[in-house]
Amino acid sequence: MSQPLHASAWLKHFPVPWWARSPHVQTILPTLVHTPSVPLRRERMELPDGDFIDLDWADAPDSPSRVVLIFHGLEGGSDSPYVKRLMATCLQHKLSSVVHHHRSCSGENNRLARSYHSGETQDIQHTLLHLRRLYPEAHIDAVGYSLGGNALAKYLGEQGSNSLIDRATIISAPLQLSACAKRLEGGFSTIYQRHLIKRLQQKTLEKIHHPELSEAMPVTAEQIPSLNTFHSFDHHVTAPLHGFDSVDHYYQSCSGLQFLKKVTTPTLIIHAADDPFMTDAVIPTPTDLSPHVTYELYPLGGHVGFISGGSPLRPRYFLEQRIASYLNLDRVDALTQ
């Protein structure tokens, strides 16, 4: 991702070891090394349309006065290494955290033909209303990664002062969906696209072969192999299933960058300039941001990587340190300034 002239205003730095200066090492290595798990409690939340969302909780010992709500990336979940690291960090600070699984991402395909997408904010609102019913006085922090970060940015801008979130952090979000989809069609980045598309294709095939869902699916099983880019998959599957006229309508409507100037929740956004999923189209100009948004661009870090030390077998990460610092996770009382 090249850096436009205005990006110098946002540049920050963290120490990067010599062996982790490649964006692909930063992106891939965290998915290969062992990440300690935390005990999880699953809660199924039924939705008004007959579908469900699974929430995975890492409970602190005391009744929460603060909850950290986590939105994972495309085809991620509570078993994603970056999610496990953040949940472990929250427990170290004696805070409860909960993962909002996008529909179909909790290990079980969802019940409806529709699934999830980069701009799905109604489900976010359902989860937040549920948390507010459980803990009316709790301070709610939210952290969104990649696709989940884009959806979180859209939610914060749409809701403005009505947001149910007290403080937020957004990591490696594809804030301009069309540009990011195009980036993944070239060079080494196609490896990431191929891996994720296969998972989306498999879920789609399951629904095509489901006797109660097949007629609602916009494609046939024979078409699935040809939908091998995000652009084609989103045009033929994501857009029609979720009420968009076309892939262009979907990308334009759901790209998070356009919503940032309406955000009133204190929010930190982090990108790496070498992110293999992004282009410089995701980097905001000063006029794109509300006064409540802090933007930080790091020269290195890959996609949801941000390795800062250790060894290849036991890397250390800058990301959780920065999230904990911004969200003031060492403070039990609510912080909204």
Q: Helix 247-254 to helix 147-159 angle, to the nearest 10 degrees?
A: 60
Contact 286, 258 (CB under 8 A): no
Residue 81 near residue 316, CB atoms below 8 Å: no
Residue among 106, 115, 146, 172 flagged as catalytic:
146
CB atoms within 10 A of CB 27: 25
Q: Is 275 a catalytic residue?
A: yes
Helix axis angle for 319-327 and 81-92, nearest 10°, is 50
Q: Which of 262, 74, 79, 268 is nearest to 180 (CA)?
A: 74
Active site residue 146: yes
How many angstroms separate the CA atoms of 23 and 164, rounded?
A: 35
Q: Give per-residue burial for 285-314: e unless 16+ CB within 10 Å, then b.
A: eeebbbebbebbbbbbbbbbbbbbeeeeee
Which one is catalytic: 100, 242, 303, 308?
Answer: 303
236 is catalytic: no
Please enumerate in sequence order all residues whose Cβ is within 8 A of that of 122, keeping only pairs 6 or more positions apart, or say none: none
State the Rg of the chain over Cα. Answer: 19
Give the span between the Cα atoms of 127 and 123, in whole angstroms. Answer: 6
Exactly one of 54, 56, 166, 275 is catalytic; name it.
Answer: 275
Residue (of 151, 124, 167, 144) closest to 294 by Cα position: 167
Q: What are the residue numbers of the active site? A: 146, 275, 303
